[in-house]
Amino acid sequence: MAATIGPGALEIEPASLATEFLPMEANITLTGSAQTDAITFDISGIEINDLNGDGLGWKLTASPQALYHELDGSTLPVGTVSGFANPSDAIHSTIASPNQLIYTSGSGIAQYSVDYRLSYTIPITASAGDYNGVVVFNIVAQ
């Protein structure tokens, strides 16, 4: 008998980001003043699988976008980005910057997890209402 098992993927597990993320704050209200970092999102448990067998590590980057008002298109700018934290394999993880994490082991890994946190600022002229936005995560071998 003979069998060939091909490599798997280097991937961000889609299910780990499938949920719509809501702010940590229960109530967010206009005050007439700018509210720095008033809205914080904790994106916990971003899951990575490195099964491509290339013997390399990988680099995960995050690109947060502004939040957009559903009706009038006004925006809430990105505030403080605490960024990546709490990697499940801290020994092989280097947080190069808040928006970049480097995994140095090339031996492959399944269900690696890391958290990401960022805040948004409410300008003095912000509108009340519903806002939406995204953080785009990208992973590449290195």
Partner 1 sequence: MNKLKSLVTVITILSAGSIAHAGLNETATLSATISAGGLEIVTASVTGPHAANGGAPVALTGSLQSDALEFNLDGITINDLNGDGAGWTLSATPAANLTNGPDNLPLGTTGGFNNPSDSINTTVDSANQITYSSGAGVVGYTVDYDVAYDVPALVAAGAYSGTVQFVLAAN
Q: Which stretch binds partner 1 (CB under 8 A): 43-51, 87-95, 96-104, 105-113?
A: 43-51
* 11 belongs to the binding site for partner 1 (CB under 8 A): yes
* CA–CA–CA angle 45, 42, 77 (5° rounding): 135
Contact indicator for 120, 38 with CB cutoff of 8 Å = yes
- The residue from 51, 81, 95, 102 that contacts partner 1 (CB under 8 A) is 51
* 56 belongs to the binding site for partner 1 (CB under 8 A): no
Structure tokens at 9: 């993927």
Instruction: Name the minimum Å distance from CB 1 to partner 1.
Output: 6
**10, 16, 58, 101 from 20: Cα distances, Å:** 23, 11, 26, 23
Under the rule (CB under 8 A), what is the footprint of partner 1?
Answer: 1-14, 17, 20-23, 27-32, 39, 41, 43, 46, 51-52, 67, 76, 116, 120, 122, 124-140
